[in-house]
DNA sequence: GACGGTATGTCAGACTCCTGACATGACGCA
DNA sequence: TGCGTCATGTCAGGAGTCTGACATACCGTC
């Protein structure tokens, strides 16, 4: 290895962090009027597309611990946006679903987030967007099993 | 807008979050033996390449608030990795620099982080890496001034 | 049946980071 | 000179997330 250092101006990792931070900040701003945090929106969105997920599965899908997701889900339950089975149909996993109110709020939230995402990728051609998506998924896959 | 919703399977925002989470987890694992958090490493790395930055400037460069950077810097000062001017040469900004020990630790940390980054982009050709970097910077730029 | 491994839910504690607020110093402008 | 604005450092408080631990439920193997 000739120069195994990191150069901020060319580092993909730094640019990745920068883009993720910008996206998170923009989403926070967009979701504030709906009284939703980014994590709460992520939970609702995931649940909207994958109904019946357990809290642990939601945690994996939103990249937080299941303990954090637990308190997050509890808050959404208290707000009447989610409903959860009282008993586990199998194992210990408690299937969770959106309520009607949760579905309505998610529709609004999804719209504003989609607007942010469209603005983010507005300068990329459709082919470039697909390529970027594939690259990002490949980055995550290449780092799998490196976080033990 | 025909379908202004978000599809997890094609969303660039979700893939971005996924890649950033994977990178962060891999960096945490790699830096743990050096007793450094990702935020602490980011501070050291930035300071190594931009000596004399103030805490507020470090905060902007690492995407945290200046209050968080303040406590982070204080911890690194206590560990003898950083040194900070006692008085401000101009304005209120206090220039901060790495100590010799900080420079040595940064060298090790930078090496392990560089290894993570190389593994992350190993499947991309050099041209693809440059294109991805440019795309990520463009994403962040497109979202600028959307976080008020 | 007994055992170990894995996955889930849950509780408790600590840590990190944030928001809000205030004081100080530099600069521009009237 | 005085005022307003901005950037920086700092203090206090709170919200969010994590680590660690424990109990429970499935699923293998022996």
pLDDT tier for residue A2 given thresholds of 50, 70 and 90: very low
pLDDT on residue B3: 57
Q: Do A12 and B148 touch (CB under 8 A)?
A: no
Q: How far is A74 from chain B (nearest CA, A)?
A: 23
> In percent, how much of chain B has pLDDT > 70?
97
Chain B residues inside the 8 Å CB shell of A114: 4-6
Neighbours of A145 (CB within 10 A): 8
Burial class (CB in 10 A: 0-12, 13-18, 19+), A58: buried
Euclidean distance between CA atoms A37 and B137, whole angstroms:
25
B67 in A contact zone (CB under 8 Å): no
pLDDT on residue B4: 62
Q: What is the pLDDT of residues B6-41, one digit of tens each?
A: 899 999 999 999 999 999 999 999 999 999 999 999
* Chain A residues 110-139 within an 8 A CB cutoff of chain B: 110-111, 113-124, 128-129, 132-133, 135-139
Which domains can be identified in chain A, with CATH numbers?
Answer: 31-143 (1.10.10.10)
Least confident of A30-34, B87-91, B100-104: B87-91
Q: For residue A115, give the chain B residue with the closest CA.
A: B4
SS3 B84: strand
Chain B residues inside the 8 Å CB shell of A13: 23, 27, 113, 116-117, 120
Chain A residues inside the 8 Å CB shell of B11: 117, 133
Phi first, then psi, for residue A126 (nearest 5°) are -50, -40
pLDDT on residue B6: 87
pLDDT tier for residue B118 given thresholds of 50, 70 and 90: very high
Q: Do B25 and A146 touch (CB under 8 A)?
A: yes
Q: What is the pLDDT of residues A108-137, one digit of tens each?
A: 999 999 999 999 999 999 999 999 999 999
């Amino acid at each position: 290895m000739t120069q195994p250092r990191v150069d901020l101006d060319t580092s993909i990792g730094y640019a990745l962090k920068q883009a993720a931070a910008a996206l998170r900040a923009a989403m926070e701003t967009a979701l504030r009027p709906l009284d939703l945090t980014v994590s709460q929106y992520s939970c609702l969105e995931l649940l909207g597309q994958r109904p019946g997920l357990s809290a642990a599965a939601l945690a994996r899908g939103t990249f937080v611990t299941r303990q954090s997701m637990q308190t997050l889900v509890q808050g959404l339950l208290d707000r009447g946006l989610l409903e959860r089975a009282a008993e586990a149909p199998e194992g210990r996993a408690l299937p969770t679903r959106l309520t009607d109110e949760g579905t309505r709020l998610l529709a609004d939230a999804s719209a504003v987030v989609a607007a942010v995402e469209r603005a983010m990728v507005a300068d990329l051609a459709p082919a470039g967007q697909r390529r970027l998506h594939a690259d990002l998924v490949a980055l995550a896959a290449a780092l799998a099993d490196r976080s033990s």
